[in-house]
Amino acid sequence: MDLNETSPREWLYLTTPIYYVNDIPHIGHAYTTIACDVVARTARMTGKPVFFLTGTDEHGQKVWQSAQKFNLSPKIYVDRIMPRFRDLWKSFRISNDDFVRTTEDRHILGVQDALDRLWKKGDIYEGPYEGWYCMFDERFWTQKDVPDGLCPDCKRPVEQVRETNYFFRMSRYQDWLVNWYREHPESIRPESRYNEIMGFLEKPLEDLCISRPVSRMPWGIPIPFAKEYVTYVWFDALLNYITVPLSSPGGAENLKRLWPATHVIGKDILTTHAVYWPTILHALDLEPPRLIFAHGWWTVNGEKMSKSRGNAVDPVVYAERYGSDILRYFLMREGQFGQDADFSDSALVQRVNADLANDLGNLLSRVVAMANRYGEAGVFRIPEDYTPSPELLQAAREMLPEVPRLALRFEFHKALGVLWNFISLLNRYVDSRAPWVLAKDPGRKNELDSVLSDLLEGVRITAVYLAPFMPQTAIRIFESLKSTESLTGLSYQTDGVWGRLPKTLALEPVSPLFEKRNPDGSVQKEPRPSRQEPPEKSGGTPVLASPGDAPSTDPENPGQVQPEARPAKPEIDLEAFQKVELTPARVLAAEPVPKSKKLLKLTVDIGREKRTVVAGIAGSYTPEELVGKTILVLANLKPAKLMGVESQGMVLAAQTEGGVSLITFDRDLDPGSEIR
């Protein structure tokens, strides 16, 4: 993005923390950066100019000590570590406009200029210091902060330090900062983080030590008015968000155009970014950030993630195993941004198999295969008198604009939920309109082509709204549809509207967008046939079953037999029906019943309590597919023992010759919601 653009449009200046290079990237780094990328891509597609900045923090004691361990100079060490971050962002298709390193001259000179200004202004002074120092956090604490001799943040031992240093008069700006936050409560999100900072500011702020003596720690930006000192890493790092625009052509005008920033961080560094940073900015005559959004942490199977526990999630490993788009989707869909979320392989596999392979991947495969099969010599033509389905057109116009609106509010899980509701609508449209039935009647050719036009356009517009979350997947969908969209210049206004497909499409059957996975993450070699598997090519024309005929195979669901009509059951009155308690239940766990080939033992949440339900569905579902699903359960059925396991309810499903299909819901809802 050209920072010299003279347009009066308001810019989105989007920033991540710059990541400390004392170690390799972890899943938290990826989470923050992917979230910012989704917001940046979404904003660009709305027509908003965006400048998206990330980078690496390369000074400080931990970096210096890590370099010593490898017998390297600090500069050589950071030069080796930094590409792991830069290259990881490339593999995740992060669309940052700049990448800053704090060892670059443009940053060093900017920090030294800021130090000079604050020194001349009287906001920096020299003084003696005696206190407790945490080596891990590179931070001083007072005696009252460490009554047990442990750092309040990392819980590691602190050590006594006595030395002369330079201090920023942070205490001078406490009243101003409190008033600012009272007037701008929306500037820290979520609300719990705002309350945390307001609670922190109830205690007197101390002045901030911003130097380290070269004799103790030589790796840092030299202080221009005191060469025997280097700059404290947290003061240095917090200035990159202004040194980058100031060092570009246009300097102060560029900063004025961009500022204030929208800043995304993890909750563990909230205090430094919401207290230290705004006071430094105010002293430099700049406003605080427009927004600081502090997201939660990822746990692993309910436990805190850490290298010492051996449960740290390496984004490089998972991107190689599943693909970066799948990991992007999972991180944005699985948890609520701002709250802690849990990472598990079973949840990831369930998302891959259910959401991506079944819902989206099979939809694309089925629709393209039918358009190819029912076209003329592989060429599909949208009818001249084509009129879109009112249902799909209304959904596209009313549902889909919610996706970018929610994404720009950092409500990523809700945005993807809305998009998947639209995908579910398309899947139901396939089943209800049954193009394979229309194809048997030459007189309904125009109707068939209109239905397929609806579906092709529905899949295309899905890809447009999916692009900020899964850019590589969106490109594959565009290519499969032979549509002309590209990620460059993609726009909701022009591309996110109905009717953009070319009138003639030479389509070919597509390979699966996503491969189903086994519980260990490996690719399923022989996927179980399901209702949504892509159609196979057929050498002949299947015949529909009619009364008195033998049942025939549905051409769009090979291996599935169309059931004959069931006899009606006796009528019941309302009073009898009201005795039945049907309730949505979320599957928390699933496992095979020992010595049974058909039964699965499910642990379900029905809202008021958790129950065990035994279901004969092992031939149609694996345990991993079920975890996380919301299903329909008959809750007031008398308990019964099956293979020695007490079942406290009944799972409801539709029976087919090919297996069973669980009754689920087309949108998110709470377990125990009333059925009526």
- The 10s digit of each residue's pLDDT in 378-413 is 899 999 999 999 999 999 999 999 999 999 999 999
CB-CB neighbours of 476 under 10 Å: 17
**Any domain includes 539:** no
**Domain CATH number, residue 479:** 1.10.730.10
pTM: 0.76
Average confidence (pLDDT) over 90-108? 97
Structure confidence at residue 1 as a pLDDT band (50, 70, 90) = very low
Domain boundary among 250, 274, 295: 295
Q: Are residues 139 and 288 in the same domain?
A: yes
Q: Are residues 628 and 493 in the same domain?
A: no
Task: Check whether 549 has a pLDDT greater than 50.
Answer: no
The percent of residues above 90 in pLDDT, for the chain, comes to 70
- Least confident span in 53-62, 111-120, 615-624: 615-624
Cα–Cα distance for residue pair 260/263, rounded to 1 Å: 9
Q: Are residues 283 and 140 in the same domain?
A: yes
Task: Check whether 324 has a pLDDT greater than 70.
Answer: yes
* Nearest alpha-carbon partner for 251 in 110, 47, 60, 459: 110
Average confidence (pLDDT) over 33-43? 98
Cα–Cα distance for residue pair 518/515, rounded to 1 Å: 10
Q: Are residues 250 and 159 in the same domain?
A: yes
Q: Are residues 273 and 370 in the same domain?
A: no
pLDDT of residue 567: 54
pLDDT of residue 550: 31
Instruction: Tell me the pLDDT tens digit for each residue of 182-197.
Output: 999 999 999 999 999 9
What does pLDDT average to over the chain? 88
The percent of residues above 70 in pLDDT, for the chain, comes to 91
Query: Which residue carries 């809802």 as its tokens?
Result: 669
Strand partners, 230: 212, 222
**Reading across the β-sheet that carries 303-304, which strands appear in turn?**
303-304, 298-300, 341-343
Instruction: Tell me the pLDDT tens digit for each residue of 80-94.
Output: 999 999 999 999 999
**Any domain includes 546:** no
Structure confidence at residue 315 as a pLDDT band (50, 70, 90) = very high
**Any domain includes 188:** yes
- Domain residues for the domain of 615 are 574-662
Q: Are residues 111 and 259 in the same domain?
A: yes
571 neighbors 636 (Cβ within 8 angstroms): no
Structure confidence at residue 307 as a pLDDT band (50, 70, 90) = low
Instruction: Tell me the pLDDT tens digit for each residue of 587-612.
Output: 988 888 888 888 999 999 898 888 99
Helix (H) or strand (E) holding 113: helix 105-121
Q: Are residues 460 and 370 in the same domain?
A: yes
Domain boundary among 453, 474, 506: 506
* Nearest alpha-carbon partner for 91 in 361, 321, 436, 366: 321
- Least confident span in 88-102, 235-249, 551-565: 551-565
Helix (H) or strand (E) holding 342: strand 341-343
**Domain CATH number, residue 578:** 2.40.50.140
Cα–Cα distance for residue pair 426/454, rounded to 1 Å: 9
Query: pLDDT higher for 194 or 574?
Result: 194
* Nearest alpha-carbon partner for 466 in 359, 541, 374, 345: 359
**Any domain includes 327:** no
Average confidence (pLDDT) over 285-307? 89
Which residue type, as a one-letter code, is found at position 445?
A: K
Average confidence (pLDDT) over 208-221? 94
- Residue by residue, DSSP assigns 188-217 as EESHHHHHHHHHHTTSPPPPEE-EEETTT-
CB-CB neighbours of 54 under 10 Å: 26
**Any domain includes 31:** yes
Helix (H) or strand (E) holding 265: strand 262-266
Query: Which residue carries 């400080």 as its tokens?
Result: 60
Task: Indicate if the alpha-carbon torsion angle 116, 122, 124, 127 is positive or negative.
Answer: positive
Average confidence (pLDDT) over 203-232? 95
Structure confidence at residue 543 as a pLDDT band (50, 70, 90) = very low
Q: Are residues 588 and 468 in the same domain?
A: no
- Least confident span in 64-78, 539-553, 643-657: 539-553
**Any domain includes 136:** yes
Which residue type, as a one-letter code, is found at position 629?
A: K
**Any domain includes 187:** yes
Task: Check whether 542 has a pLDDT greater than 80.
Answer: no
Structure confidence at residue 526 as a pLDDT band (50, 70, 90) = low
**Any domain includes 520:** no
Q: Are residues 364 and 278 in the same domain?
A: no
Q: Are residues 169 and 24 in the same domain?
A: yes
Q: Are residues 26 and 94 in the same domain?
A: yes
**Number of domains into which the chain is organized:** 3
**Domain CATH number, residue 112:** 3.40.50.620
Question: Under 8 Å CB-to-CB from 148, ≥6 apart: which residues?
Answer: none
Q: C-alpha angle with apex 611: 608 to 616, nearest 5 degrees? A: 135
pLDDT of residue 561: 34
Q: Are residues 146 and 248 in the same domain?
A: yes
- Measured in degrees and rounded to the nearest 5, phi and psi for residue 363 equal -60, -50
pLDDT of residue 603: 92
Domain boundary among 273, 295, 317: 295
pLDDT of residue 121: 96
